[in-house]
Amino acid sequence: MERYKHLNTYLKEKFGERTLKMPVDGGFTCPNRDGKVGVGGCIFCTARGSGDHLALIPIPDQVKRHLESYRGKRANKFIVYFQNFTNTYDTIENLKIKYDSALIDNRIVGIDIATRPDCINEEICQLLQTYLERGYALTVELGLQTSNEQIAKIINRGYRTEIFTNAVNLLKKYNIEVVAHIMIGLPYETQKDIENTVKYINNLNIQGIKIHSTYIAKGTELEKLYKEGKYKALTLDDYLDKLLFVITHLNQNIVIHRISGDAPKDLLIAPAWNIHKKWVLNGLDKLMNEKNRFQGDSIII
């Protein structure tokens, strides 16, 4: 019995068998790095963004390498996941070339595009809709992190929460599934802030969520705050308690895509528990079993 809506189960039900994500680096940048919105990116973001582990080779070669590796033997269906930086931040022509270049194998059944809400517009949605028309499953992931405008400024997010709302509404106009990213343990974040973020998510038409633990990586602005004593990382127990709150107060129809951030081991400063993903997975399962809790059993709207 699953106590929350797992991504693996959802994908198996949707595609009829085990279906896995295949992360690729599309060679994108970010308007929060190139000066259009800001420079340096969000304070927790490393120089390579969220794809430190990805190979800097052409997209088709990344796909081939994945399918020919042991990972390609673990399933018969795959979703190409454009993971690193802002994957709608380019001309429409270049976006189409990059997306199409990944669709080189009939085992690929979907596209997952991570981006910023301020890089979603009508023209981009029209392009994305063509992939739905071609029979691909399509998901767009948007980084929210928090609904608190002041904390958003502290982490250098670079857009107002209203922009996130507008992007979700526009994507839904084109029947595109949306996954929101939120972070637990951001600087100056209170329990009330977490509650407000969950409430905000519940009042939007969102299909999935990624819940990230905040970690400190080398070379980031967050590392500076940490070393200056202005930021303290959450303990594992604190994170699990807050994670339990989020899931039990979240709409039960929202698919949980992940419950922790994965820091590159060679870049992690703190907390040390972050590299032990099983500790989070098993810890949450234990907590939910002990307390007999389920996703959405205390939903807030």
Is the CATH code 3.20.20.70 the one for domain 7-291?
A: yes
More confident residue, 264 or 63: 63
Mean pLDDT, residues 33-40: 83
Q: In what order do the strands lie in the sheet with 177-184?
A: 19-24, 77-82, 108-115, 137-145, 177-184, 208-213, 255-258
Residue ranges of the domains in the chain?
7-291
The pTM of this model reads: 0.94
pLDDT of residue 39: 80
Mean pLDDT, residues 184-200: 97
What is the C-alpha to C-alpha distance for residues 252 and 227, in angstroms, rounded to an integer?
Answer: 39
Q: Sign (positive/negative) of CA torsion 148, 149, 150, 155?
A: positive
Average pLDDT, the chain: 94
220 touches 271 (CB < 8 A): no
pLDDT of residue 114: 97
More confident residue, 180 or 41: 180
60 touches 101 (CB < 8 A): yes
